[in-house]
Amino acid sequence: MIAIQSLTRQRLAAITSQYPACYSRLFSTSPASQDVHSSASRTPPTEPHTIDPRWLTMIKRRIGKCMMFGLKPPQIQEAGNILQRVARDWRGLIAGSEGYLTDETRRGHVNNVTYVRYAETARVYFTRNFALHIDPAHKTEWMNLVSSKGVGVILRSIKVDYKFPMTYPDQVTVYHKLAHDPASAQSSQYAFHLQAMIVSEAHQRPAARVHEDIVVYDYKQGKKTALPPFMEAQFQKTWELQKQAKQHWQQQILDIEARVRKLETDSWDREDAVEDMGSAKK
């Protein structure tokens, strides 16, 4: 886990160097800069990015600060619209922005057991979703993958990066995605890698991340075998959908950032700003 955290810090440091200091809080849990009137802080990022797991919480706090300072009726309406959008789309903003497909047919809802069991259960749903919703023409073949009737899949290794402990009665949603382009040199004809995000519904952020190494196995011949053509075809389509989802949700994040930033510069973060103290001024 220490190695994972070290690599993560290096990656985030490289990303944040592209943006003004004010927006480094999107990528770090460190406190934001107190220089709220700096000219750099007035420019929202213009490129998609990997967001901080607590981004939703920070967005709500920033809007709350604007409302506490005092907003005009149109600004209050805008703040309400942003909060409604965040409440509706939070799964897409958090998971979709990383390429996870978050529509109803892709979700795996499981109850409160262990993190590894979450991922195992959701991986079965991942396969069943192909059989029932995505590629019903090969329903039998997809369902056989999670059995030992012929060609199936075997988990070779699993790595869990724990983010924070969940407590009862929290519930989770688990999303899976392909880790590599099926057509790339990183992909094997006998195996594939999945990444999973275990999302806390109560905290609305990832509770754990999982990396799974899966081998295709022929139970009748007793040895590994190549991915069947129906799997290769659907994985390639899924990879393209993941790229589209990532681009779409990252753009939604940038749009929300720009709208919240405008609320800030129109309320408390302007040179002539004076807090509306309400009845306390009388």
For 35-75, give the DSSP string: -TT-GGGGS---S--PPPTTHHHHHHHHHHHHHHH---HHH
> Distance between alpha carbon 74 and the CA centroid of its chain, in Å?
31
Mean pLDDT of the chain, nearest integer:
79
Close Cβ partners of 214 (under 8 Å, ≥ 6 residues apart): 153, 154, 155, 156, 191, 192, 193, 194
Amino acid, res. 2? I
List of domains in the chain: 54-101 (no CATH), 112-261 (3.10.129.10)
State the average pLDDT over residues 19-33. Answer: 35
> Distance between alpha carbon 240 and the CA centroid of its chain, in Å?
17
- Backbone torsions φ then ψ of 24, nearest 5 degrees: -65, -20
Q: Which residues of 158-178 are buried (b: 16+ CB within 10 A; e: fewer)?
A: bebeebeebeeeeebbbbbbb
Residues of the chain with pLDDT > 90, as a percent, come to 55
Which residue reads 């060609």 in tokens? 151
pLDDT beyond 70 at 22 = no
Which residue reads 């990396």 in tokens? 211
Amino acid, res. 56? L
State the average pLDDT over residues 230-240. Answer: 96
Residues of the chain with pLDDT > 70, as a percent, come to 74
Specify the pLDDT at position 10.
37
State the average pLDDT over residues 30-39. Answer: 36
Structure tokens, 86:
């965040």
Specify the pLDDT at position 50.
60
State the average pLDDT over residues 4-30. Answer: 34
Q: Are 84 and 237 in contact (CB under 8 A)?
A: no
Q: Are 242 and 103 in contact (CB under 8 A)?
A: no
pLDDT beyond 70 at 109 = no
Please tell me the distance from the alpha carbon of residue 107 to that of residue 212, in angstroms, as a whole number. Answer: 17
**HSE-up (13 A, CA, CB side) for residue 13:** 6
Q: Are 27 and 15 in contact (CB under 8 A)?
A: yes
Structure tokens, 170:
């929290």
State the average pLDDT over residues 1-27. Answer: 35
Tell me what percent of the chain is helix, strand and coil, each rounded to the nearest 5. 50, 15, 35
Q: Are 1 and 162 in contact (CB under 8 A)?
A: yes
pTM of this structure:
0.74
Residue range 148-202, pLDDT digits in tens:
889 999 999 999 998 888 887 888 889 999 999 999 988 899 999 999 999 999 9
Crossing angle of the two packed helices 55-69 and 229-266, in degrees rounded to 10: 20
Specify the pLDDT at position 275.
65
Specify the pLDDT at position 185.
83
Q: Which spans in the chain are helix H? A: 2-16, 55-69, 73-94, 115-129, 139-144, 229-266
Which tops the pLDDT comparison, 18 or 76?
76
Please tell me the distance from the alpha carbon of residue 225 to that of residue 235, in angstroms, as a whole number. Answer: 17
pLDDT beyond 60 at 6 = no
pLDDT beyond 50 at 123 = yes
